[in-house]
Amino acid sequence: MFSVKDLLLSPKLFFEELGSEEIGMKIPVLIVAVMGVVSAMSAYLFTSFTAQLMPPEAAFMSPYIGIFGLVGGFIGAFVMWLIWGVLLFVISSLFKGTGSFGETMAVVAYGFVPQIAGSVISLIIINEWIAGVTVPQVTDPMMIEQVMTGMMNSPMMQLSMVVGILFMLWGANIWVFGISVIRKISLKNALITVGLPVVVYLLFTLYSVMGL
User: For 142-155, how does the pLDDT look when each residue is reduced to its tens digit (9 = 90+)?
Assistant: 666 666 666 667 78
Distance between CA atoms of residues 206 and 157, nearest Å = 12
Q: Give the structural domain span for 139.
A: 4-210
Residues 6 or more apart from 159 whose CB is under 8 A from it?
125
Amino acid at position 38, single letter = V
pLDDT at 91 (0 to 100): 97
Q: In angstroms, how far is CA 88 from the centroid of its own chain?
A: 15
User: For 85-103, how does the pLDDT look when each residue is reduced to its tens digit (9 = 90+)?
Assistant: 999 999 999 999 998 999 9
User: For 103-150, how does the pLDDT look when each residue is reduced to its tens digit (9 = 90+)?
Assistant: 999 999 999 999 999 999 988 988 887 777 666 666 666 666 666 666
Tell me the mean pLDDT in the region 11-36: 91
Q: What is the rounded radius of gyration, in angstroms, for the C-alpha atoms of the chain?
A: 19
Total residue length of the chain: 212
pTM of the model: 0.87
Question: Mean of the per-residue pLDDT values for the chain?
Answer: 86
Phi, psi of 22 (to 5 degrees): -65, 130
Number of domains forming the structure of the chain: 1
